[in-house]
Amino acid sequence: MAPLLQLDSITKSFDAVRALKHVSFDLQPGEVHALLGENGAGKSTLIKIISGAHQPDDGSLTILGKPVRHFTPATARRLGVACIYQQPALFPDLTVTENVALRLEPASGFRRVDWSTRRIRAAEMLRQLGADINVDAEIRGLSMPEQQLVEIACAFGSGARILLMDEPTASLTQTEQVLLFAAVRALRDRGAGVIYISHRLEEIFALADRVTVLRDGESVGTSAVSEVTESSLIQQMVGRALTQTSPPPAGKPGARKLSLQGLGCAASGVRKVSLDLHAGEIVGLAGLVGAGRTELAQTLFGITPADSGVILLQGERIEIGSPAQAVAHGIALLPEDRRRHGIVLEMSVAANISMACHRRLFPRAWLRPAAERSLALGFMRDLSVRAAGPEAPASSLSGGNQQKVALARWLATKPEVLLLDEPTQGVDVGAKAEIHKLIRALAGAGMAVLLISSDLPEILGMSHRIAVMRGGSIVRVLPGNSTAQEVMSAALGQPLAPDRL
């Protein structure tokens, strides 16, 4: 039987980073093919190539036996590729019926709308997926999983036979997961192929027919799910020789600076987090996508303020209701989304660097261009930021340099507590080492650092302790000299059984 999708020896690089190296992959009709790998192993790049968002540098892509060139998202949709992301592309003010209809019906405007047919068809499609959703409900009023089901129905209904699902169960409850699985099985039974990315091994064993493991941009192997065990999968995911690229952290942590007790935020999913950060300590926050690490950082920084629990700073209870308050308390956050939150693209490097420390740098609210310039030049030198000058707009810098500017902004505030969310994402190896050195120096000078990273070697090499999150809370706190397997197991929710590894 001809595969729905065939990728041969796909290679893709971004600047000097090789995201995929000669990856081959195929999807048969009527199967659920899981894609497994650490964060940064190349899964999202592969997905983007399949959906047409990126073009491979080398290798070939074949859909239903026909090779495809100049693969754009529009072409992909036409050839039957559909992406089910966590944010469905639905119309929030319109009903389920209408959402399904608008996706399925042709785009010509001058025809009559048959509402009864529309309703029947939408209801039928949802029923086939096993979903019990009122077709007259507005999308805005539906829960996220319900919206996902509608999105799946739309995609399948409009002829998509290759469905890409990226962490679809990240925020679902048990019962909602069951519904989603039923929908996926229904799709499979109708001949579609589903590429299913998830970190939850139990899901893969429950749902998938085959599983491919990616590691460092390469495919480690494709096997039938019946032929593997959890431990063999984990071994494949992390099994490289872990040479420490950085020396283990020196120095002993000092007094307790920040103490979180039972911290929770219903809106963002943070659940009863308790953690202490000490002066001079680097605490790594590990976990998989959707575990709640960024949400915890955002709660600590006041973006989504906590509604339960206590935050103690130097022993005193504080409220953090907004980022401005967090900064006033000496807490800094380097956000994950650099382009939207880390910097303001249209403003200059110098303006970006000074943006969080107006109070200190510009007393009485008076701008001092010379002081700002020298501050910027200092950081540009220390972090080796390559730009035409401090006046250059941040948009003219490469991604790595933009990240350095974002970091410089927070270093300029001389914080007590530094929250770093993926600080070396998109940064080249040389700059990465510089940033690590800098973080260590900051910790050495007494700062408390929370390091969120999906890069296991980074976390293992930098942290005094590693807190592992899963499902919005901290499930385990490991010592800094733990192994990658231990961290990954904790992140996956596996019980620690060293003899099995």
Partner 1 sequence: MTRYFREISVTLALAALLLALAVVAPSFYQAQPLLSLVAREAPTLVVTCGMALVLICRQIDISVGSQFSVCSVVVGLLTSLHWPLGLLVPAAILLGAALGALNGALVAGLGLPSIVVTLATMVTWREGLRWLREGLWVDLPRDTQWFGLSQTVGQWTLVGLSLMILALLALAMRHLAAGRFVYAVGSDVEAARLAGIRPRWITFAVFVLTGAFTALAACMNVAQSPQVDPNSGAGLELKAIAAAVVGGVAISGGRGNLWGALAGLLLLACVGPALTHLHVEAYWEKATHGAVILLAVVADGWRNRKLDLR
Partner 2 sequence: MSFLPSDSSLPNPSMKTPRRSVLSRHETVLLIILAVEWWFFSAGGRNFNTLDNNFDIIRHSVEIGLLALAMTAVILTGGIDLSVGSLLGLCAVLFGALWRDARLPIGWAAALTLLAGVLAGGFNALLIAGLRLPPLIVTLATFSLFRGLAEAITHGMDTYTHFPETFQFLGQERWAGLPAQFPIFLVFTAGIWVLIHRTTFGRSFRAIGFSAEGARYAGIPVERRLAMVYVLAGLTAALAAIIYTARLGQAKADAGTGYELFAITAVVLGGTSIFGGSGSVVGTLLGVTAIAVLNNGLVHMRQPREVAGMLTGLLLLIALSGSVLLKRLATLRQRWQSFPKPTPRISTL
Contact residues for partner 1, defined by CB under 8 A: 77, 89-95, 98, 101-103, 105-113, 115, 136, 138, 140-141, 143, 267
Provide the mask over 160-199, with x wherever binding to partner 2 is found by CB under 8 A and - wherever it is not: ----------------------------------------
Which listed option, partner 2, partner 1, none, makes contact with residue 374 (CB within 5 to 8 Å by class)?
none
Residues 349 and 390 sit within 8 Å (Cβ to Cβ): yes
Which listed option, partner 2, partner 1, none, makes contact with residue 262 (CB within 5 to 8 Å by class)?
none
Closest by alpha carbon to 165, among 12, 287, 33, 53?
A: 33
Which listed option, partner 2, partner 1, none, makes contact with residue 243 (CB within 5 to 8 Å by class)?
none
Given strand 308-313, what is the order of strands in its sheet?
270-278, 256-265, 308-313, 316-318
What are the residues whose beta carbons fall under 8 Å from the beta carbon of 246, sequence distance 6 or more? Answer: 433, 436, 461, 462
Q: Which stretch binds partner 2 (CB under 8 A): 30-38, 151-159, 177-185, 351-359?
A: 351-359
- The correct pick among 22, 78, 190, 340 for binding partner 2 (CB under 8 A) is 340
Asked if 462 interacts with partner 2 (CB under 8 A), we say no
- The correct pick among 122, 220, 265, 333 for binding partner 2 (CB under 8 A) is 333
Closest by alpha carbon to 46, among 22, 67, 17?
A: 22
Q: Which is nearer to partner 1, 14 or 115 (CB)?
A: 115
Which listed option, partner 1, partner 2, none, makes contact with residue 2 (CB within 5 to 8 Å by class)?
none
Which listed option, partner 1, partner 2, none, makes contact with residue 17 (CB within 5 to 8 Å by class)?
partner 2
Given strand 331-334, what is the order of strands in its sheet?
331-334, 417-421, 448-452, 282-286, 465-470, 473-479
Q: Which is nearer to partner 2, 264 or 342 (CB)?
A: 342
Which residues is 284 bridged to in the sheet? 451, 466
Q: Which is nearer to partner 2, 402 or 494 (CB)?
A: 402
Cα–Cα distance measured from residue 384 to residue 427, given in angstroms and rounded to the nearest whole number: 12
β pairing state of 210-215 and 270-278: unpaired
Asked if 335 interacts with partner 2 (CB under 8 A), we say yes
Strands, E assignment, 253-334: 256-265, 270-278, 282-286, 308-313, 316-318, 331-334
Shortest Cβ 387–partner 2 spacing (Å): 6
Number of residues forming the site for partner 2 (CB under 8 A): 49
Asked if 305 interacts with partner 2 (CB under 8 A), we say no
Which listed option, partner 2, partner 1, none, makes contact with residue 356 (CB within 5 to 8 Å by class)?
partner 2
What is the DSSP track for 428-448? -HHHHHHHHHHHHHHHHTT-E
Q: Which residue has the tokens 């000097």?
A: 16
Strands, E assignment, 391-493: 417-421, 448-452, 465-470, 473-479
First-to-last C-alpha distance (Å) of the chain: 37
Q: Which stretch binds partner 2 (CB under 8 A): 393-401, 445-453, 463-471, 478-486?
A: 393-401
Task: Write the burial class of residue 402 (CB in 10 Å: 0-12 exposed, 13-18 middle, 19+ buried).
Answer: buried
Q: Which is nearer to partner 2, 185 or 358 (CB)?
A: 358
Which listed option, partner 2, partner 1, none, makes contact with residue 322 (CB within 5 to 8 Å by class)?
partner 2
Provide the mask over 37-66, with x wherever binding to partner 2 is found by CB under 8 A and - wherever it is not: ------------------------------
Which listed option, partner 2, partner 1, none, makes contact with residue 16 (CB within 5 to 8 Å by class)?
partner 2
Shortest Cβ 16–partner 2 spacing (Å): 4
Strands, E assignment, 281-348: 282-286, 308-313, 316-318, 331-334
377: tokens are: 């030049």
Task: Write the burial class of residue 68 (CB in 10 Å: 0-12 exposed, 13-18 middle, 19+ buried).
Answer: middle
Cα–Cα distance measured from residue 479 to residue 470, given in angstroms and rounded to the nearest whole number: 17
What is the DSSP track for 115-148? HHHHHHHHHHHHHHTT----TTSBGGGS-HHHHH
Asked if 351 interacts with partner 2 (CB under 8 A), we say yes
Shortest Cβ 90–partner 2 spacing (Å): 18
Provide the mask over 410-429, with x wherever binding to partner 2 is found by CB under 8 A and - wherever it is not: ------------------xx
Residues that bind partner 2 (CB under 8 A): 15-17, 303, 322-324, 326-327, 333, 335, 340-347, 351, 355-356, 358, 362, 365-367, 373, 377, 380, 384, 386-392, 396-398, 400-401, 409, 428-431, 434
